[in-house]
Structure 1
Amino acid sequence: MQKKDSGTIYVVGTPIGNLGDITLRALDTLKSVDVVVAEDTRRTLKLLNYYEIKKPLVSYHKHNEKKRSVELIEMLKSGKDIAVVSDAGMPGISDPGRELIKKAWEEGIDIEVVPGVSAVTAALSITGFESTPFVFCGFPPARGKERKRFFKELAGEKLTTVLFESPARFRKTLKDILEHLGNRRIVVARELTKIHEEIFRG
């Protein structure tokens, strides 16, 4: 059971591009917590400044998440409430957050979700493809045997599949999809909700 004097961890969804897409509840939560835990404090500071929210920021990313999770659990045990955000979308979904949330469960810390925009469902909604059910695979491995294995295993998947990819590897990924999955229907969505949003279907 959670100790009465423990704080709460709020897992808060943030906009994936357009700052106007944040929810009222997310804003209320960010205003009420003691600390905001951010993947990139510089990006989160822009969001907080836009809505005139002043809160201490703590960095939490893939290079420090194990050590930082221990520190944050102690902070929660001391009674402080914290909000966990990623650069865009929901923490823990192809973004840092899972390690801290896992430890919070193990320690009996209260966890609340404040859902927001998801790049996965936003992209899926505009494809016109069957979406129930679908498969989300996150980012393919960047290189080597793991990458080849990833696409070979994906070749047997019959459900609509959603992937993330960086601009630097985008062309290579299209070639790998064609090589391993064959000539399939595909939708490419980039810069969703932003000024230069582009969607291609073929």
Structure 2
Amino acid sequence: MTDNKTLPTEIPTLYIVPTPIGNLGDITQRALDVLSNVDLIAAEDTRHTGKLLSHFGIQTKTFALHDHNEQQKAQVLVEKLKAGNSIALVSDAGTPLISDPGYHLVTQCRQAGVKVVPLPGACAVVTALSASGLPSDRFSFEGFLPAKSKGRKDKFLEIAKAERTCIFYESPHRILDSLADMLEILGPDREVVLARELTKTFETIQGMPLGELVEWVSSDENQQKGEMALLIHGYRANNDDNALPDEVTRTLSIMTKELPLKKAAALTAEIYNLKKNALYKWGLENLD
């Protein structure tokens, strides 16, 4: 067992250690001290983490802990902690557990009475939000967008009327499809920020109305590469207090393709507990 006098506590501890999301200079001195002095580093990808450790001259042994083995291996690490070892948990980049492995390990540690100490540090969500220009008093991190179009549209419908800033991660090979789905549900005027390659050489933080953003990203292949976060401005009600929610009008529009407007309005009103006359009036004014 390592002499833990160089660690903040002599009690066997699981340390949650953020690592840089791009620029290696963003790692903290405290993180380096912990990584250098724990008995073991649990890493999402030991090869990736090995390069980081080599850069800083750290020789601590690593242990693979990723999405595919965490539920099985977490108990192994808990037993090592209970035996007197201290362990650092890292992901490939940023703060562990934020769309990265670690939940099962931390949960089992807390259930077993093992001390868990989080270190502050790099996190793409907060980094993107701080420079986005969007309201930051209320926000939610929604993780990665669903891989399929229907799932994405359902998610956008879910947050369409949310007044908080909503933040998603997205993969470069799906960014155009995701923006197209977002445009269909949220409309061209919703302000959206694309934060790409944060802290890296080609960092981009660009915000504009969604319709313009779709055109901008589509016209520049460079903006379709790298690690991405999408930040969506919260819903702002217009001056018409009687305006129908987008989800309601979308449902009505779909129903009128198979049913007379009067019947479609009645069914939609029953689904959403609204007055059918308001829906019928909206249909007359907005549908062919």
Normalised TM-score (structure 2): 0.66
Q: Structure 1: which 5+ runs fail to align? A: none
Aligned to 2:57: 52
Structure 1 residue matching 2:161: 3-state secondary structure: coil
Amino acid at match of 1:24: Q
Counterpart in the other structure of 2:205: 199
**Mapping 1:76-95, distance limit 5 Å:** 76-95=81-100
Query: Is the 2:152–2:181 contact (alpha carbons within 8 Å) kept by the matching residues of 1?
Result: no
Task: Identify the structure with bigger relative contact order (alpha carbons < 8 Å, sequence gap 6+).
Answer: 1
1:188 is matched with which residue? 194
Letter in 1 for 2:204: E
Say which SS state the counterpart of residue 170 (structure 2) adopts.
Answer: coil
Per-residue deviation at 1:107?
A: 0.5
Q: Higher helix fraction: Structure 1 or Structure 2?
A: 2
Distance 1:94 1:26 in 2: 20
Alignment map for 1:1-202 (pairs within 5 Å): 7-143=12-148, 145-183=150-188, 184-202=190-208
**Letter aligned with residue 169 of structure 2:** F
For 1:61 and 1:147, the matched residues in 2 are separated by 25
Counting matched residue pairs gives 198
Residue type at the aligned position of 1:120? V
Normalising to structure 1: TM-score of the pair? 0.94
- The Cα RMSD (Å) is 1.4
Deviation at 1:6, TM superposition (A): 6.6
Identity across matched positions, percent: 48
Return the alpha-carbon distance in structure 2 between the equivalents of residues 6 and 26 of structure 1.
Answer: 18
Hey, what's the Cα distance between the residues in 2 that align with 1:29 and 1:162? 30
The 3-state SS of whatever aligns with 2:35 is helix
SS in 1 for 2:25: helix
Secondary structure of 1:126's aligned partner = helix
Query: Hey, what's the Cα distance between the residues in 1 that align with 2:30 and 2:11?
Result: 22
Structure 1 runs of 4+ off > 2 angstroms?
144-149
| SS state at 2:158 partner | helix
Q: Deviations over 1:113-134 (max 9, x none)?
A: 1111110111011111111011
- Matches of 2:150 and 2:78, distance apart in 1: 37
SS at match of 1:164: strand
- Is 2:152–2:178's contact at 8 Å kept on the other side of the alignment? no
Q: CA deviation at 1:145?
A: 4.6
